[in-house]
Amino acid sequence: MTHLSTTLDYMADFQIRVNNKVVDVDCDKNTPLLWVLRNHLNLTGTRFGCGTGLCGACTVLIDGTPIHSCDTPIWAIGNKSVQTVEYEENSTLQRIKSCMASEQAGQCGFCLSGIMMRATAHIDSLATLDRSSIADALDGHLCRCGAHNRIIEAIRQAGS
Ligand code: FES
Ligand code: FES
């Protein structure tokens, strides 16, 4: 007796590793990672700002390197590991979150998830953590509230 196709035969369009879990995603190959995270995986901490790689709001880590998820298509992820602001097992990220809160660094907070991912990579790169190196690292991130000074101080504390 022949069995027709069942769910056992199902293969997702893509399998990617996000926050240390392998997840199935069905979407067009050119779908930006940002929309995969937000719309398919309900990881809405990653923000949509400009959509053209200019504001940094959508920054996530891929194999530890910050990238703009708004202009990175899902086909480019392959076997690499994606980390978003929701990831709880990254101790550097958790320290940064805690210092952001204690310094009351954000105002509206819209820019912060992207900034915290960039700052995580910056601290983990063992870069010199003075004000100027942090400001340089955050150069591509817009904060419309003008909370830069408190954000930089929070990052400096997290890395010290
Ligand atoms: S939304 Fe990606 S850089 Fe602005
Ligand atoms: S805290 Fe509002 S945009 Fe940065």
pLDDT at 38: 98
pLDDT at 3: 45
Q: Which atom of ligand 2 is nearest to the CA of 145?
A: 2
Q: What is the pLDDT of residue 9?
A: 73
Contact 110 CB / ligand 1 (< 6 Å): no
Q: How many CB atoms within 10 Å of residue 3? A: 7
Counting as low any pLDDT under 70, the low residues of the chain are: 1-8
Homologous superfamily of the 91-159 domain (CATH): [2Fe-2S]-binding domain (1.10.150.120)
pLDDT in tens, 107-132: 999 999 999 999 999 999 987 889 99
Class of the CATH domain delimited by 7-83: alpha beta
Predicted TM-score (pTM) of the model is 0.93
- From the CB of 115, is ligand 1 less than 6 Å away? no
Residue spans of the domains in the chain: they are 7-83, 91-159
Helix then strand then coil, in percent of the chain rounded to 5, is 40, 15, 50
pLDDT of residue 1: 41
Compute the distance between CA of residue 25 and CA of residue 133 in angstroms, rounded to an integer: 37
What pLDDT is attached to residue 2?
A: 40
Tokens, residue 142: 């817009």
Distance 110 CA to ligand 2 centre (A): 5
Same fold, 7-83 and 91-159: no
